[in-house]
A and B are shown apart, each in its own frame.
Chain A
């Protein structure tokens, strides 16, 4: 710049500043145009109790509302699951309400599928459109050509959807969650004869042994377990509970442990049985518990012969000394507790590995004891193998057996493409989405009937495995809906109404009424007389919380249940061409991807790597050095199923033969904050099934890495170099 130009410019800027300074610096005081209704006092906040349903844990929340706007969410101190605490996702639910890219009213597709061209239509028109499609099915006696896809629901929603599908005459309701605890239900039923989920008394235990259960981040009920973990460590005067973590990647949970055992992926079940054998051989087991459960030490030992220490050490890649030490600590500290998590379960031998871990609990006699495992107080039943249902639905869709698909949630993003879901869905002629944001599924839809945001909704939430008590959390609208949206259950009811003749199936006028009716049935007889008052009280406190300890039938080995015998793990991709194991883990901010549209969660640095806004692949420093990969380089990850490019994070907290990618990014839609950010690692996952059982083995895919360039464009909040120097891993 020339000196003269500079002087001219600075003169102009100075003049501008002087002029803009000639105004009083006071803020504006903007009045209402029309005063608000009764009940709104400007400047004064109201607090409403409701429930979080962002993840299945179902924590209780209190929402601060002033001038009719929701301002802040905190945990509900009276709620037995989270006791006033809340996770980042729960806090961010506020941003779902105010998201600038919400679908404001029903939309009809106006361009080719997937192009994102939609026109706004009225609710009458849109409902008539869907009713027309469904009526056509009824007329042709082809009602089973309707499919309903939802996440795993609970409470009145199950009742409603089941009834709707039954009355309409279609058996095809798929309730699938990528992270649904089906595996835990099956394992628990096979071990103990009960399909309910276990509740771990972490707070009271003295030795916690977690096999890949990341309970601080996402496993079952993270807020509850995080709180309990804090009490286990610091809540008692004389004891500080010990915690050992087993798993190939050090998660945030693993990082909180006293000891980390990076066992080879797929060998965790063998490790558990190896420990069991050692405990039995050294007579450290609980004789009483064995007797009650009808087991004999000698017989067990004979069955576990194969799991001798040298062999287990070789399988797991861990030193014999360490395995023996942990086994002895576990058996001699009472109470001690073993948990199994997703990292173990989603292997080809997952179900048996989980049962092997459950057997450890039995051996040290901590079933139904303080500091041990109890059946949880939540719903007794739930899907046990929704993955098989998913596969059969996909097969049917591929054959063109469906004419209409109604979809709640975002399965197009959250189901691994290896199942063929996305392609099969494209063959359904009419797709209805209930998403309130333009997500990947909504982009493929022909009709979008936007749901309310959570803070505008009614609902009941039965917490998943968060407490032993019977808890039914209630959701109530804390603000009047911002847009012309309707709740999914209300739309179903309206649809039933329109289809006519079957309205008797829905004796309620609205979902709110149904909820109230169901709650009336659930409270005791005495309370029912004056239910209006009870109802208001339930809403005020946030749900129905009952304490009833010890009445539940405890755990006992199911008669005739066989001993777990985890097979050799199998992997997709041969070892030569794909030398590394892939671990795809739910991030603390995005869960299975549903957190991605919320900017607060996008800005949350990952607790272990401090990466913000992006996806990345974690590589052990040794592996990276061998391949010449540096921090932040762009690498290509190739699996037998697909390939993707990601920046590399050199991470000492992972086995050298393993790489890990967080889940949740890589949306095509989902609003401006999620769109096109990062990548979705689900495209890498291969489908491993064997002839007899169909179980998802998402962690059994192998990959290889190729360095592409040094421009990975990684954004981190911390200084990465520190991690190069640490020597955390010694295998």
Chain B
């Protein structure tokens, strides 16, 4: 009697776990912070890889500002008025434009406030974008390849004989 109760209980618990997992699989929940789902299925592979658009064409502030910048909705639209305007993802893009809403992209790379990372200095040092961002041109969806821990930065700075003074990054 007791055993059967126990078995029933176990089966029930297992069922709950399975159902939970199934739910998590099917619901649009996103737990990946290294390669999050984006509001539009923007493919870096298509843009940077297949079509060979240079990174700085869209991330145009990287050579002159600490932040690389992302293209304004108007910039995306300017191209796609003519390029595959009928693709479903492009339609979504146009919908954003019509509603006058910016696209809420999910950030993949971010550093805490106490770290100062200037893109322009790294570009001026002739580092390739792939050093930190890996082969983005091959990614359907961007994934963060680096850990972004301090030791990782330091290693690179040591390798390239860049300053490892605290004030270089923490200011």
Measuring CB to CB, which residues of chain A are less than 8 angstroms from any residue of chain B?
Answer: 19, 21-35, 41-44
Contacts and interface: CB of A to CB of B under 8 A. Distances in A.
B75 A35 contact: yes
Contact of B73 (A21, A23, A29, A31): A31
Contacts of B36: 24, 26
B65 interface: yes
A26 B31 CA distance: 10
Contacts, number: 81
A43 B65 contact: yes
B73 A27 contact: no
B71 interface: yes
Given A26-B107, A26-B110, 10 more contacts: A22-B27, A23-B31, A24-B106, A28-B104, A30-B103, A33-B102, A34-B73, A34-B74, A43-B61, A44-B64
Interface residues of B, number: 32
Contacts of A28: 104-107
22 contacts: A21-B31, A24-B31, A24-B32, A24-B33, A26-B33, A26-B106, A26-B107, A27-B110, A29-B70, A29-B106, A30-B102, A31-B102, A31-B103, A32-B72, A33-B73, A33-B74, A41-B61, A42-B61, A42-B67, A43-B69, A44-B64, A44-B65
B100 interface: yes
A32 B101 CA distance: 9
Nearest to B105: A29
A35 to B, nearest CB: 4
A122 to B, nearest CB: 24
B121 to A, nearest CB: 12
Which of B33, B75, B106, B110 has the most C-beta atoms of chain A within 10 angstroms of its own C-beta?
B106
A32 B71 CA distance: 7
B30 interface: yes
B107 A33 contact: no
Contacts of B75: 35
Q: Nearest 7 A-B pairs (CB), nearest first?
A: A43-B67, A22-B29, A24-B36, A32-B72, A43-B65, A35-B72, A24-B33
Contacts of B71: 31, 35
B119 to A, nearest CB: 8
Interface in B84-127: 97, 100-108, 110
A42 B107 CA distance: 16
B74 A42 contact: no
B52 interface: no
A599 B61 CA distance: 35
Interface in B1-16: none
Contacts of B101: 33
A23 B30 CA distance: 4
Contact of A30 (B30, B61, B105): B105
B72 A26 contact: no
Contact of B72 (A23, A25, A31, A44): A31
A29 B58 CA distance: 14
A33 B30 CA distance: 26
A123 B16 CA distance: 67
B29 A23 contact: yes
Contacts of A44: 61, 64-66
B108 A26 contact: yes
Given A22-B31, A28-B105, A34 B65 contact: no
B24 interface: yes
B61 to A, nearest CB: 5
A22 B33 contact: no
Nearest to A20: B29
A369 B70 CA distance: 61
Interface of B: 24, 27, 29-33, 36-37, 61, 64-67, 69-75, 97, 100-108, 110
Contacts of A29: 70, 104-107
A22 B32 contact: no
A500 B114 CA distance: 59
A28 B105 CA distance: 6
B24 to A, nearest CB: 7
B105 A33 contact: no
Nearest to A22: B29
A168 B72 CA distance: 52
A26 B65 CA distance: 22
Contacts of B102: 30-33
Contacts of A31: 70-73, 102-103, 105
A21 B72 CA distance: 30
A30 B30 CA distance: 19
A561 to B, nearest CB: 58
Contact of A22 (B30, B65, B70, B74): B30
A44 B64 CA distance: 8
Contacts of A21: 31
Given A31-B70, A35-B75, A43-B69, A25 B107 contact: no
A32 B73 CA distance: 6
Contacts of A26: 33, 36, 106-108, 110
A21 B30 CA distance: 9
Contacts of B72: 31-35
B138 to A, nearest CB: 21
A612 to B, nearest CB: 27
Given A30-B102, A33-B100, A35-B75, A24 B30 contact: yes
B66 A27 contact: no
A35 B70 CA distance: 10
Nearest to A43: B67
Nearest to B144: A26
Nearest to B96: A33
Nearest to B36: A24
A29 B33 CA distance: 14
A23 B97 CA distance: 26
Contacts of B106: 24, 26-29
B69 A42 contact: yes
Nearest to B32: A24
Contacts of B97: 33
A44 B63 CA distance: 11
A646 to B, nearest CB: 41
B145 to A, nearest CB: 15
Contacts of B32: 24
A33 B66 CA distance: 21
A27 B105 CA distance: 9
Contacts of B67: 42-43
A41 B119 CA distance: 13
A42 B68 CA distance: 8
Contacts of A19: 29
Nearest to B20: A18
A358 to B, nearest CB: 49
A30 B69 CA distance: 10
A25 B65 contact: no
A26 B33 CA distance: 6
A34 to B, nearest CB: 5
Contacts of B24: 22
B163 to A, nearest CB: 21
